[in-house]
Structure 1
Amino acid sequence: MVNCGASTASTSFDVLSYGAVGDGKTDDSPAFLEAWNAACISSSKLSILTVPAKKTFLLKPVTFSGPCQPEYMYVLVSGNIAAPNSMTDYSGYQTNSWLAFSNVSGLMITGTGIIDGKGSGWWSQPCIGNASNAATCTGPAALTFYRCTRLVLNGLRLVNSPRSHIALTSSQFVTISNIHISAPATSPNTDGIDISGSTHVYVRDSFIGTGDDCIAISAGSSHINVTRITCGPGHGISIGSLGAHGENDTVENVTVQNCTLKGTMTGVRIKTWQGGSGYARKITFNKIRFIRVDNPIIIDQYYCPTQIGCKNETSGIRVSDISYSVIYGTSVTDKVINLSCDQNFGCSNIVLDHVYITSTVPNKKAYSYCFNAHGKYSHTRPAVTCLLK
C-alpha cells in the first residue's frame, strides 16, 4: 500500500454500483469495465475500485486500459473472480489474455479474493503445441500487465489458469508479494509468473505450484529480484527460454535468493535455443534449497523441448557471469549439476561456491556434467572438475 497522506482525496467505485451481480452466472465484465472507466477519469489522486466479498463475479475477457487521471489506481479484490467455464465463451475475443491491464501507472491490486481461471477445459486440447493454431491451443493468461509502471500486486490467490497465471510485459518498477498460485502438476503451460521485456521487478514471499515454470524470466528483462519463493510442483525457476527462431534476446542483472524448490522437474535453470543471439549474464542464485528436485542446477544451451528437428547452429546466446552460492538439498536424479554450454562460445565465469547436493537414493553417488563451461568452484559436492578449483 502507498501512504498518500491524510489530505489526499480518494474516491471509491464499487462494481455493484455499476450493475455487477456477483452470482457466478451473470456476465459482470461490462459492469467492471464501466466502473474502471469511471475510476480512470476521476479527478481524485486515488481511485479505489472495489470487488466486494462473499460474491463470485463471472468475467469474460476484458482489458482495463490507461493511462488514467488519478496518480494511483487501487483495485481491492475481496470477492472472487471467475473465468467462463467453456472455451466457446471466448469466441470473438482475443485468446491471449483473460484479464488484462494496459498502460496503467500507479496500479495496485490487493486483496484476499480468488481469481479462478477455470483452465481445465484448455489443458486437454489435443492442439496444444500446434503452431498453426497456437493462440487457440495454448489459451489465455489469467492476468496480463502490459506497459504498466509502479505496479503492486499483493495477497491475491490465483488458481487454474488456462495458461500463465501472471504475465508481465514491458513493465517497470513492479512488486509482486504474498501471492498464492496453484494448478495441477499435469496442467500444461501454466507458468506462475512470466516476466518479459520488464525491468526493476521484485517478486517475494509467495507460493507457486503449477504445471510449468514457477517463474520464467525472458527476453528484455533486467534488474529482477526473486526472494523467498516456495516453488513446487512445477518446472522450477527459469531464465528463458532465449533465442527461439533466431531472435536476439537479452537478460541481465537477475538475483534469485532464499527460495525453496520441492518436487520440481528442474531447479534453477538457464535455457537457450541454438541459432539465437544476445546474452544472459550477471545472474545470481543464492541460498537455494532443493527437496527431491530433478536436475537441480542446469544450463541448457541446446533447449529443444519437442526433441524434433533440433539443430546445432553456429550462433547462440552468450552465457556469462553466473553465480551459484549456498545451495543445498536433494535430487531424484544423479546428474545434479549439468552445464551444457554452447559448442562455439561456451559459458564464461561460472562460479559455484558452497554447493552441496545429494541423491535421494541411499548410497547413490551424485555427479556433475560439463560441456564447454568455464569458471571455478569451491566447497562444492559433487565436484565440478571441468571448472578451476
Structure 2
Amino acid sequence: MDAWKEACVGPPPSSVLFPPGIYIVFPRVDLKGPCKGPIEFKATGATIMAPPALEPFKTASWIKFMNVDKLTMTGGTYDGQGQAAWKANKCPEYTKKCELPPNIRWSNITNSLVKDVTSANSKYIHMHILKCANSSLDHVTIDAPGTSVNTKGIHIKESSGINITNTNIKTGDACISFGYGSKNVHVEKVTCGPGRGFSTAILGTYEIEAPIAGIWIKNCTITDALNGVMIQSLFDSKTTTASDMHFDDIIMNNGFPSRVKISNVSFRNIRGSSSTKEAMRLACSSWEPCVNVEVADINLTFTGPGGPATSVCCVVEPKVVGKVVPPIRMVDESECLNKGYL
C-alpha cells in the first residue's frame, strides 16, 4: 500500500510491481485514487493469496481499486482460497446479503484495462465492477469448480461502456451477470462453463433500480452450464426495465434450458446441444407482456430419451427469422402456470 501511494502521487506514468512469487495478503487492501496520471499494477508471475479462513474479513472486500482513472491491471493470479466459504454457504438465497469478499473489486474506475489476469477460488464474486465506465477486460481467466457457491465470475453493476473479450470463465454461478444500472456492455469471445451462463441479476428486487439497457453478447461458447442466456425477475417484482439486450452467435454444448422474461431482445444464430428435452423457453407474464422479441437461426438438438428437443413460448409471440430448431410451440398462460414456467 505504501508503494501504491507513492506511485499514485508520483509523476505519471507510474507503476506498482509484484515480483514473481507467492504472497499472502490480508485482510483488506484499498488501493485508492485519484492519481496524478496513468498508473499500472503489474503482477505477472505472482500469485496473491487470501487467507482461507473467513474470520479475518470484517467487510466485503479483499483487494479493492477505487477512484482511479487510466488504471492498467496486468498479470498475476489472485487466489481467494474460498473452499471454506463455499462449505459455510453463508448466502444461499438472493434475499440474503453477503459480506464475503470478492477477489477483485473495482469501484469508480474509468478508462481502464484488466489484461492477462487470473482469478481463482474466490470466496464470493471473482471480479465486481461497480460504478465504472469506459473500461475493458481482456484475456481474463476465472477458475473455480462448478461446485463453488455464490461465485459469479464477473458482476457488473451501475456501470457503462464495459467491454469483456477473449475471456475464459469456469465457476459455480453466473459467468457474467448484469446488475441494475448496467448499460452499454459488450461481451465477445468468452467461453463459459461450468457455471450458470450469462444472466441479469434478479430484477425488481429493490424499490429503486436503474434500468439495464444495451447488453450485447456475441461469439461466445457455453458448455456444461446450468443456464445459457437468462433475464431474471421476481414473480412479484418492483418496477424496473431491461431493454436492448442481444445474444448473437452463441454455441451451447450440453446446455440447460433458460427461463427468460424479455423486452426488445434478439436471439440469433444459437446452435449446439441441450442436456434436457426442453431446449428453449421464453416466459413472460400477461400483465407485463414482452415486446420486440426476435428468434433467428436457432439449431439446438437433444439426443436423450423422449424424442427430439422442444421449445416453449409462454405469453410471448416472437418474430421468427430463418430456420428455428426445435420449432416454437406456443403455450397459454394457464398451462405455463400449471407447469411452473411462470
TM over 0.5: yes
In structure 1, the residue corresponding to 2:201 is in which secondary structure? strand
In structure 2, the residue corresponding to 1:135 is in which secondary structure? coil
Q: Can you give the 5+ residue segments of structure 1 that lack an aligned partner in the other structure?
A: 1-32, 302-318
- Say which one has the larger Rg: 1
Task: Indicate the residue corresponding to 2:275 in structure 1.
Answer: 332
Task: Indicate the residue corresponding to 1:128 in structure 2.
Answer: 91
Task: Indicate the residue corresponding to 2:340 in structure 1.
Answer: none
Q: CA deviation at 1:47?
A: 1.0
2:162 is equivalent to residue 201 of structure 1: yes
In structure 2, the residue corresponding to 1:216 is in which secondary structure? strand
2:54 is equivalent to residue 87 of structure 1: yes
From 102, 117, 133, give the equivalent of 1:156: 117
Distance in 1, Cα, partners of 2:64 & 2:184: 24
2:46 is equivalent to residue 46 of structure 1: no
Distance in 1, Cα, partners of 2:93 & 2:190: 32
Q: CA deviation at 1:362?
A: 6.2
The alignment yields a C-alpha RMSD, in angstroms, of 1.8
Q: CA deviation at 1:345?
A: 1.4
Distance in 2, Cα, partners of 1:51 & 1:107: 16
Residue identity opposite 1:86 in structure 2: A
Task: Indicate the residue corresponding to 1:174 in structure 2.
Answer: 135
Task: Indicate the residue corresponding to 2:42 in structure 1.
Answer: 76
Q: CA deviation at 1:81?
A: 0.6
1:136-156 deviation per Cα after TM superposition (whole angstroms, max 9, x unaligned): 4xx111100111101200001
Distance in 2, Cα, partners of 1:101 & 1:63: 6
Task: Indicate the residue corresponding to 1:218 in structure 2.
Answer: 179
Q: CA deviation at 1:54?
A: 2.8
Distance in 2, Cα, partners of 1:338 & 1:86: 41
Distance in 2, Cα, partners of 1:204 & 1:68: 27
Task: Indicate the residue corresponding to 2:33 in structure 1.
Answer: 66
Q: 1:161 to 1:367 in 2, by over 3 A?
A: same
Q: CA deviation at 1:360?
A: 3.5
Task: Indicate the residue corresponding to 2:82 in structure 1.
Answer: 119
- Is the 1:349–1:374 contact (alpha carbons within 8 Å) kept by the matching residues of 2? no
In structure 2, the residue corresponding to 1:254 is in which secondary structure? strand
Task: Indicate the residue corresponding to 2:336 in structure 1.
Answer: none
Distance in 1, Cα, partners of 2:96 & 2:185: 32
1:280-316 deviation per Cα after TM superposition (whole angstroms, max 9, x unaligned): 1111111100000111x430x4xxxxxxxxxxxxxxx
Q: CA deviation at 1:56?
A: 2.6
Residue identity opposite 2:198 in structure 1: I
Residue identity opposite 2:38 in structure 1: Y
Q: 1:360 to 1:61 in 2, by over 3 A?
A: farther
2:301 is equivalent to residue 358 of structure 1: yes
Q: Percent identity?
A: 27
Residue identity opposite 1:123 in structure 2: W
- Is the 2:194–2:223 contact (alpha carbons within 8 Å) kept by the matching residues of 1? yes
Distance in 1, Cα, partners of 2:90 & 2:31: 30
Q: How does 1:99-110 map to 2 (within 5 A)?
A: 99-110=63-74
1:59-86 deviation per Cα after TM superposition (whole angstroms, max 9, x unaligned): 32111111111x2110011211110121
- Is the 2:92–2:150 contact (alpha carbons within 8 Å) kept by the matching residues of 1? no
- Is the 1:148–1:171 contact (alpha carbons within 8 Å) kept by the matching residues of 2? yes
From 339, 351, 367, give the equivalent of 2:310: 367
- Is the 1:368–1:384 contact (alpha carbons within 8 Å) kept by the matching residues of 2? yes
Q: CA deviation at 1:217?
A: 1.1
Which stretch of the first structure deviates more once superposed, 353-362 or 283-292? Answer: 353-362
1:23-81 deviation per Cα after TM superposition (whole angstroms, max 9, x unaligned): xxxxxxxxxx1111111111x22111000013434332111111111x21100112111
Q: 1:133 to 1:244 in 2, by over 3 A?
A: closer
2:244 is equivalent to residue 278 of structure 1: no
Count of paired positions: 328
Q: CA deviation at 1:218?
A: 1.4
Q: TM-score, normalised by structure 1?
A: 0.81
